[in-house]
């Protein structure tokens, strides 16, 4: 029997957790409950959920801080945020913080289920789909760890492939230096942003960007870096 997809529900209201747990359980998901952000941060490495439903307004640690901490620790699971605040600035803040979707409370359960299924499906497809990145005349095949410019092989380090892999997973969205440290260098406890910037500088040179140019790796000061190259399907057999 295929194991159920695991969902982590993080909300300080017991009644909300009960409703979501019963509803998602009836829909075939395995649900793990957390009463606040602190508990969620402890449970995520252990439970490894496929998706996190995260309330914003919580005591001890609110949803914004929880999301930031999870991303810095390398959590890649999609996050759907729930909040009583329904306005565009709040939605933008959530998406910029690394959330994948956003619903206001009280939400329609059928809509919530549809969004959860879509996020899980998209996440699973991105994990299994081979990725081929194109930077002008440079092609990088992440799964094979091969980079070529025409017939010339371009040498990328293991760390540079890991950075590209992370940026490609969040293609078009900003990835913070804290998250890069947590995922690639696994040193978010004592961050060294110079390490990240040096790696990105070398990577830009290999990708063919000129000094001061941000053609494919765009820097958003105070937010993160965005990968804006073309992602192609893998080449078929010749």
CATH 1.10.10.10 for domain 132-232, yes or no, is: yes
Provide the pLDDT for residue 90. Answer: 65
User: What is Dmax (Cα atoms) for the chain?
Assistant: 61
d(Cα 205, Cα 107) in Å, to the nearest integer?
47
Is the pTM higher than 0.75? The answer reads no
Q: What's the fold here for domain 6-127?
A: Rossmann fold (3.40.50)
Tokens of 185: 């260098």
* C-alpha span between 191 and 203 (Å, rounded): 20
pLDDT of residue 93: 66
Domain with CATH 3.40.50.2300 in the chain: 6-127
> Tokens 């496929």 map to which residue?
50
pLDDT mean for each 10 residues of the chain (238 residues): 79 94 95 95 93 92 89 84 74 69 86 91 66 86 86 89 86 83 67 84 87 79 86 53
Overall size of the chain counted in residues: 238
| Residue 26, pLDDT score | 95
Q: Where in the chain is the domain with CATH 1.10.10.10?
A: 132-232
Question: Cα(49)–Cα(42) distance, rounded to whole angstroms?
Answer: 12
pLDDT at 127: 59
pLDDT of 3: 62
Contact present, 69 and 41 (Cβ < 8 Å): yes
């Amino acid at each position: 029997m295929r194991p159920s997809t695991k969902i982590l529900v993080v909300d300080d209201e017991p009644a909300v957790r009960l409703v979501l747990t019963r509803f998602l359980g009836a829909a075939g998901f395995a649900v793990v409950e957390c009463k606040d952000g602190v508990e969620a941060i402890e449970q995520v490495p252990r439970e490894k959920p496929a998706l996190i439903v995260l309330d914003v307004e919580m005591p001890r640690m609110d949803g914004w801080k929880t999301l930031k901490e999870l991303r810095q620790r390398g959590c890649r699971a999609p996050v759907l945020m729930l909040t009583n605040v329904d306005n565009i600035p709040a939605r933008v803040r959530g998406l910029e913080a690394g959330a994948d979707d956003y619903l206001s409370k009280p939400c329609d359960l059928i809509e919530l289920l549809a969004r959860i299924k879509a996020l899980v499906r998209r996440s699973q497809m991105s994990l299994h789909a081979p990725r081929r990145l194109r930077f002008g005349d440079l092609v990088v095949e992440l799964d094979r760890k091969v980079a070529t410019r025409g017939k010339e092989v371009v040498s990328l380090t293991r760390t540079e492939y890991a950075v590209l892999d992370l940026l490609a997973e969040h293609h078009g969205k900003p990835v913070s230096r804290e998250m890069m440290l947590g995922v690639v260098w696994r040193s978010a406890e004592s961050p060294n942003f110079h390490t990240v910037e040096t790696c990105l500088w070398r990577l830009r040179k290999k990708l063919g960007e000129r000094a001061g140019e941000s053609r494919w790796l765009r820097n958003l000061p105070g937010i993160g870096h965005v990968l804006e190259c073309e992602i192609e399907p893998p080449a078929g057999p010749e």
